[in-house]
Amino acid sequence: MDIQRKDVHNSDLPVLCQACESRHRGVCGALTPDQLLQLSKHSTRRTLEPGAELAGESIQTKTYSNIISGVVKLSKMMADGRQQIVGLQFAPDFLGRPFRKENGVSAEAATGVKVCSFPKQVIERMIGEMPELEHKLLEQTLDELDEARNWMLTLGRKTAGEKVASFLLLIATHAFPDNESDSVEFELPMSRMDIADFLGLTMETVSRQLTKLRADGVIRIINNRHVEVPDIARLSDRAGM
Amino acid sequence: MDIQRKDVHNSDLPVLCQACESRHRGVCGALTPDQLLQLSKHSTRRTLEPGAELAGESIQTKTYSNIISGVVKLSKMMADGRQQIVGLQFAPDFLGRPFRKENGVSAEAATGVKVCSFPKQVIERMIGEMPELEHKLLEQTLDELDEARNWMLTLGRKTAGEKVASFLLLIATHAFPDNESDSVEFELPMSRMDIADFLGLTMETVSRQLTKLRADGVIRIINNRHVEVPDIARLSDRAGM
DNA sequence: TGATGTCCTTGATTCTCATCAAGTCAGGCA
DNA sequence: TGCCTGACTTGATGAGAATCAAGGACATCA
C-alpha cells in the first residue's frame, strides 16, 4: 500500500491516479479527475512474481497496464528457441499496444512487478474523447523507438565487453535518472541468462565480461546482484561511448 | 510529372495531396482538402542523389518530409566510426520526428529519392487542429517500433547467413507487399557496405553469404544489384523463420 | 586501347565469442 | 551437518566472422 515515490521518477505529472495510487506518465497522467475516477472502477492491481507472463507474442491481450514498480522484459523468440529481449520497461511505463490486436512481443516480469491493469475498451474510448491521451502514447512510443534504435547499435556493432558495460549503464540510468554524482550502485534486475538474451550473447560470455570489469576495478559486485560503480565515466568508456 | 502509382502501395487513402501529387499515408492521407491546399503552399519537392543527407544525428531539422519514391536509410554512428543502420524507410513513409528537437539518427538517401517537405510549424499546428493526424503518426511510429524490434532479433540472434536472407526477404516484402506468387525479383536498394552496416556484419561476410545463397540456388544475382528469388519459401527457411 | 577508380569477390589468417564440461558458491531442507 | 539444487564462474576447445590482402568486373575517361 505504501508505494515508494522514488519508483516513479517522471514526476512532473500533477494527477494522482485513484486506481494505482500513483503518479505515472503511461496513461493516467493525461486524464481528468473525472476520468481517473471512472478508470478506477474498471482497473485492477496485480502483483507478479519474477518470471510471470503478462502477455504472449501472438496472444490477444484485452488489457493495458501501467507498471507501478519493478521491471518487465519484452522478448521475441525464434522457432528453435533462440531468444532476444527487445526492450525493458520500468515504472512508470505503459504496457500494451494501442490499436493492435497482437502484441508482437511477449512480456514477462523480470523482477517482482506491480501493475495496474484496465480493459482496452475503456482506454480506447477515452482516447477518442481526449487527444491529449493519444499524444502521451505517441510520446512514449517515440521514446521506445529511440531506445530500440540505440540498442540496435549496441547489438550490431559493439563487442561483448562494450555490450555488458552498456547494459550496466542502461540499468544505472533507469534506476537513478537524475543521478549527479560520479558513482552509483544498484541491483541488477535480471539473471545472467536474461542479460545474455538482451545483449545477444551467451551467459558465459556475460559472466566473463563482468569478471573482467571487476578485475579492472570498473565495478564491484556483491552477492551476484548488487553492483557498485565507483566512477561512471570509466564505465561509460568501456561502453564505447 | 507522372508519379507512378505503384510506388504508393498503401492506397486505401482517398485524398490526393496537391503538394506531392501523390497519395500517401505519412501525413497528407489524414488531411482535409482545405488543409492539403494550405500545405501545398508551404511544401517543396526535392529530388536527391544516392548518398545525399536529409538530416544529421544531432542537427535540428526544421522540416518534415514524405517519401514519394526511393529508399532512405536511418543510421547511427559511434565515435570511432563504427556504423549501424537502424531503419529503412520506403515510400510512402513519413520522415521526421514529431515534437522532438533532435533527430537521434541521421537520414541519408540510399537510392535516388523524391521527397515532399514542409515546415515543422505548419504540420504541428495542423496536428493541434486534427487529432486524426496525430493518430496517423502514432500508427506509423508503432509500425517502426515493430520493425525495429524484429530487427533486434535478427541482429542479436541470427547467424550471418540468416541475416543476409532476412535482409533479402525484407526488401522483397517492401518492394512488393502484396506479392502472392512464390517467386519475386527486385533491385537491391543499397551497396554491400550498406547491407553490412544494416546487418552488423562486414562487407566481405555479406558478399560470401550472397555467394553461398547463389551457389545453393536460393537466389540469382544479375549485375550486382538485380536479384531473382525463384522460391520465396526457401529464402524464408534460410532466414530462420 | 589502355589507365584509373569503384565496387565487389575470393583467399589466408587471426581473433572473438560459442560450446562443452567442470567446478564453485549460497540457500533450502531433511 | 550434510546433501541437494539452481545460479553463476572458470577452463579448454572449436566454429564463425573479422581482418588483412589480392584479385576480378565494370564503368569512365584520356
Question: By the 8 A CB rule, do B20 and B5 touch?
Answer: no
- The minimal CB distance from A78 to the residues B144, B153, B199 is found for B153
Is A110 or A126 the better-scoring residue by pLDDT? A110
Average pLDDT for A5-9: 35
B170 in the same domain as B144: no
Higher pLDDT, residue A116 or A33: A116
- Sheet of B226-229: strand order equals B184-187, B226-229, B220-222
Tell me which of B151, B181, B211 is where a domain ends.
B151
Report the candidate in B41, B22, B12 with the shortest Cα–Cα distance to residue B177.
B12
Spatial distance between the Cα atoms of A228 and A168, rounded to a whole number of angstroms: 10
- Nearest residue in chain A measured CA to CA from B202: A157
* The predicted structure's pLDDT at residue B29: 66
Cis bond upstream, residue B230 (ω within 30): no
Which nucleotide lies at the shortest CA–C1' distance from A194? D7
Residues B141 and B167 in one domain: no
Q: Note the pLDDT of residue B26.
A: 57
B226 and B202 housed in the same domain: yes
> What is the pLDDT, as a whole number, of residue A4?
37
Domain that holds residue A194: 155-238
* pLDDT at residue B5, rounded to an integer: 34
Instruction: Report the relative pairing of strands B106-109 and B71-77 from DSSP bridges.
Output: antiparallel
ipTM above 0.95, yes or no: no
Check whether residue B118 and residue B181 sit in a common domain: no
Q: Does nucleic acid strand C have an atom less than 7 angstroms from the CB of B210?
A: yes
Q: pLDDT digit string (tens) for B32-72? A: 777 777 778 888 888 999 999 998 877 777 888 989 999 99
- Contact call for residues B28 and B59 (beta carbons, < 8 A): no
Q: Which of B152, B159, B199, B241 to mutate to test the interface with A (most CBs of A within 10 A)?
A: B152
Query: Are A24 and A133 contained in the same domain?
Result: yes
Which of residues A105, A137, A169 is at a domain's end?
A137
Residue keyed to cell 563487442: A159
Beta carbons of B226 and B149 less than 8 angstroms apart = no
Residues B27 and B59 in one domain: yes
Is the same domain home to B88 and B179? no
3-state class (DSSP) for residue B71: strand
Chain position carrying cell 534460410: B238
- Kindly state whether residues B201 and B135 are assigned to the same domain: no
- Please check the confidence at residue B207 and state whether its pLDDT lies above 50: yes
Query: Over the stretch B169-194, which tens digit does the pLDDT of each residue have?
Result: 999 999 898 999 999 999 999 999 99
Angstrom distance (rounded) from CA A132 to CA A123: 13
Q: How many domains does chain A have?
A: 2
Integer Cα distance of B95 and B107 in angstroms: 9
CA distance A118 to B121: 36
Q: In DSSP terms, which residues pair with A63 in a beta bridge? A: A119
Give chain B's mean pLDDT.
Answer: 86
Could you say which residues 161-220 of protein chain A have a Cβ atom less than 7 A away from any atom in strand C? 161, 200-202, 204-205
A18 and A125 housed in the same domain:
yes
